[in-house]
Structure 1
Amino acid sequence: MAKRLLRAFALLVVPFIASLLMRLLYATNKKEFHSPDTISNEPTIFACWHGELLMLPYLYSKYRKTPHAKVLISSHFDGMLISKTIKYFGLGTIAGSTNRNAARVLIQAISAIKDGYDIGITPDGPKGPRHEVADGIIAMAQKTKAKIVLVEIKPTKFWQLKSWDKFKIPKPFGTLNYYSTAPIDVSDMDTLSAKKLIKEGLLKHEK
């Protein structure tokens, strides 16, 4: 009972505080966008590694002044916290992962794309292996013909958690480097080649 109450309290308080901290960290860092100035208005899949997802909403807002996206988030408690946090940035969610409940999540994501939503996804989430691309993003892109924008977020100053994804939290007063590609088309590629292309693209600026 106590655990349930604690979790309920956390779901009320933590997302709001987290959203304020994200705004503070963004405001106190310089920003460098190494990205195309514009992309197509067609529904697009935005992909970044799980360990770099914290500041992803700000790259998305560069291209979509009015957010219209759903992000694939774990259905576990930590995923619920993330889901409620990104709602403060106007983003919806699809609960689950392309490893667990894969068919249901894939159907929901495909349906969302067909309804005009962009999709946010961490190809190695929610539990890894780190920097390994799961099949879900490929299936999603090929079934909808949606193109993929690969996003890397590299802060010059950061805390790094000892989690499986080595999650990065930018420190204030550094520089946030956003790298993103023009939309790439994997619709005619075999799965292994598409996964290789995505992995190499997301590791291009990894040190």
Structure 2
Amino acid sequence: MKKLLRNVLRSTWVQRTVGFVAAEFLRLVWLTNKFSFEPANVYELVEPQQPAIFAFWHGQHFMTPFIKTKPSHRVKVLISRHRDGEFNAIAAERLGIGTIRGSGDHGSAFYRKGGVGAFKEMVRALADGYNVASTADVPKRARVAGLGIIMLARESGRPIMPFAMATSRFIRLNNWDRTTINLPFGRGALVGIESIVVPADADADTMEKLRLRLEIILNEATRRAYAQVGRPEEAAHG
């Protein structure tokens, strides 16, 4: 039975159907939640710094495609090669976001999960004027920023833009990253605090300090986003 279910989930028609439905559901969520922005002129501040690396936490990612509000906002997102990644990739592309397949983990699985090719593709995308979006934490280590995104900023010379998005109505799963499924007909918030620039000559000590800084900023942005939609207690349990 498990094998049959696995084969069904891997079938192209199921993946495309789930991806399509997910994309259209998220579009409904975006259209029916009244979003606030912090700072209010966030797009005016960010646009001159593009292309940039947009960073967010695992499990808080479903609304992130909607940071793209203009055709000129060209974005590619890093999505894992895992089976679940297929649904996410189809949904992202349906929402006008390009995809890069591979892992952002620079640990022992970096080569096996396509990390090298994905890293090079992200550097090329940034050089070609695309924004790149990626989770800052790596699988199974929720809310712990990895070095991969810091390495990408150092190699590309582009700034990291940490941000968080939250909605007042959601379902939270009991998995490793406490995935939040945003729901329609409520309030939403997008919070960005400050950008991070990694010098081209950054040594290991500097990169570790910037990794910790990224972690702090993302946690604070997440806290503020939930507070703005009236769910302040949720950030601490994310």
**TM-score normalized with structure 2 length:** 0.79
1:26 corresponding residue in structure 2: 30
In structure 2, the gaps of 5 or more residues are 224-234
Structure 1 residue 66 displacement after superposition: 3.0
Structure 1 residue 115 displacement after superposition: 1.5
- 2:129 pairs with one of 116, 119, 127: 116
Q: Alignment identity in percent?
A: 27
2:54 corresponding residue in structure 1: 46
The one-letter amino acid paired with 1:194 is: L
In structure 1, the gaps of 5 or more residues are none
- 1:76 pairs with one of 75, 82, 95: 82
2:227 corresponding residue in structure 1: none
Matched, 1:158 2:170: yes
Could you tell me whether the CA contact under 8 Å between 2:194 and 2:217 is conserved in 1?
A: no
Bigger mean CA deviation after superposition, 164-173 or 191-200: 164-173
Paired with 1:170 and 1:22, the residues of 2 have a C-alpha distance of 8
Deviation track 1:121-156 (CA, whole Å, cap 9, x = no partner) reads: 00113x230001111101100111100111111222
- 2:65 pairs with one of 54, 57, 69: 57
Structure with the greater alpha carbon radius of gyration: 2
Could you tell me whether the CA contact under 8 Å between 1:114 and 1:144 is conserved in 2?
A: yes
Matched, 1:89 2:105: no
Matched, 1:149 2:161: yes
The one-letter amino acid paired with 1:12 is: R
1:97-116 superposed matches below 5 A = 97-99=103-105, 100=110, 101-116=114-129
**TM-score normalized with structure 1 length:** 0.90
Provide the aligned C-alpha RMSD in A.
Answer: 1.9
The one-letter amino acid paired with 2:96 is: G
Could you tell me whether the CA contact under 8 Å between 2:196 and 2:214 is conserved in 1?
A: no
Residue 154 of structure 1 aligns to a residue whose secondary structure is strand
